[in-house]
């Protein structure tokens, strides 16, 4: 159910991309209880002219290796779960592919369960509509 977009500057190889995807998914599995088949992750690479960020916002010294991770997920997790999730992502990505903790930016976008369609034009997580309500 989480949908993840990972944005970074152009120039990293396929192994680096794979480490990013796997690191985020590993954190999801361990902290958000995401099923093994629930994997929807895309990577967007940007030229320097289209990748802008505050290099020192909140006194965090970011480098050109900044990775911005946006996860859209159901709004069902506690603050403690979210904090554990952010830490797990950062810890995993500092090990592989070797990001600095300062270069891991995460944004969690929470949505209601009925805001998903995984195929067939159906809202698989939505409450069924009775014939009277249709």
What tens digit of pLDDT does each residue of 77-97 get?
999 999 999 999 999 999 999
Residues serving a catalytic function are 2
Domain count, the chain: 1
* 127 within a domain of the structure (yes/no): no
At residue 125 the predicted structure's pLDDT band, cuts being 50, 70 and 90, is confident
The pLDDT assigned to 47 comes to: 97
Nearest to 57 by CA among 49, 66, 48: 66
* 16 within a domain of the structure (yes/no): yes
At residue 1 the predicted structure's pLDDT band, cuts being 50, 70 and 90, is confident
Whether the predicted pLDDT of 110 surpasses 70: yes
* 125 within a domain of the structure (yes/no): no
Taken in order 110, 115, 121, 124, the sign of the CA dihedral is positive
| CATH number of the domain bearing residue 90 | 3.30.429.10
* 110 within a domain of the structure (yes/no): yes
Whether the predicted pLDDT of 133 surpasses 70: no
* 70 within a domain of the structure (yes/no): yes
The pLDDT assigned to 130 comes to: 64
The domain of 22 spans 3-115
């Amino acid at each position: 159910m989480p949908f993840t977009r990972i944005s970074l500057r152009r120039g990293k190889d396929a192994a680096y991309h794979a480490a990013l995807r796997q690191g985020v998914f590993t954190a999801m599995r361990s902290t958000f209880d995401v099923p093994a088949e629930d994997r929807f992750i895309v990577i967007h690479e940007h030229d320097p002219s289209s990748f802008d960020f505050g290099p020192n916002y909140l006194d965090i010294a970011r480098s050109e290796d900044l990775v911005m991770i946006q996860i859209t997920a159901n709004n069902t997790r506690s603050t403690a779960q979210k904090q554990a999730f952010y830490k797990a992502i950062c810890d995993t990505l500092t090990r592989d592919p070797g990001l600095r903790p300062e270069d891991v930016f995460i944004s969690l976008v929470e949505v209601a369960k009925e805001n998903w369609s995984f195929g067939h034009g159906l809202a698989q997580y939505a409450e069924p509509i009775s014939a009277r309500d249709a």
